[in-house]
Amino acid sequence: MWLFGAFSPINGDKFLLEMPHCNTDNFQIFLDEFAKQQQNEFKIMVVDNGAFHKAKKLNVPENIGLIFLPPYSPELNPAENIWQNYKSKFTNKLYKTLDEVSDFITHHTKKITEDVVKSTCAFSYIFDSIKWTDLYV
């Protein structure tokens, strides 16, 4: 089980999907579903250089733009702080089934508020060059 997610440091929105594999096909499903959320909004996603993020057969929807991090720099990805939050609560526990893991994800996701997303993902480099709040209506 893999958890795909996108988080907005601008308004605190979050979008998560549990997927059976971490591959191009599932990333495509994630992008397609994410694109359906607030369709008139252009979404910028910061991603690492995983092969499935750059696959030639990937069809990035028109309302999504991918920004690739430099190699070996996960600390620049705001989403990594959200994932660390999940991992810290997930580790050292025994889950007997994938349904129990899914229940954990659902329960924990409900606790991640807009304010938590904004404070966790608000990296200074995101805000230094553009005043996003003037663009966000």
Q: Which residue has the higher pLDDT, 65 or 135?
A: 65
- Cβ atoms of residues 118 and 21 within 8 Å: no
How does DSSP classify residue 129? Answer: S
Task: Give the range among 20-29, 42-51, 73-82, 106-115 with minimum mean pLDDT.
Answer: 73-82
Would you state the pLDDT for residue 124? Answer: 67
Phi, psi of 103 (to 5 degrees): -60, -40
| Model confidence, pTM | 0.83
Residue with tokens 């988080």: 7
Please check the confidence at residue 123 and state whether its pLDDT lies above 80.
Answer: no
Distance, CA of 77 to CA of 85 (rounded, Å): 14
Phi, psi of 113 (to 5 degrees): -85, 170
Phi, psi of 21 (to 5 degrees): -145, 155
Residue with tokens 């070996």: 72
Question: Each residue of 66-119: pLDDT tens digit?
Answer: 989 888 887 888 888 888 888 888 888 888 999 999 999 889 888 899 998 888
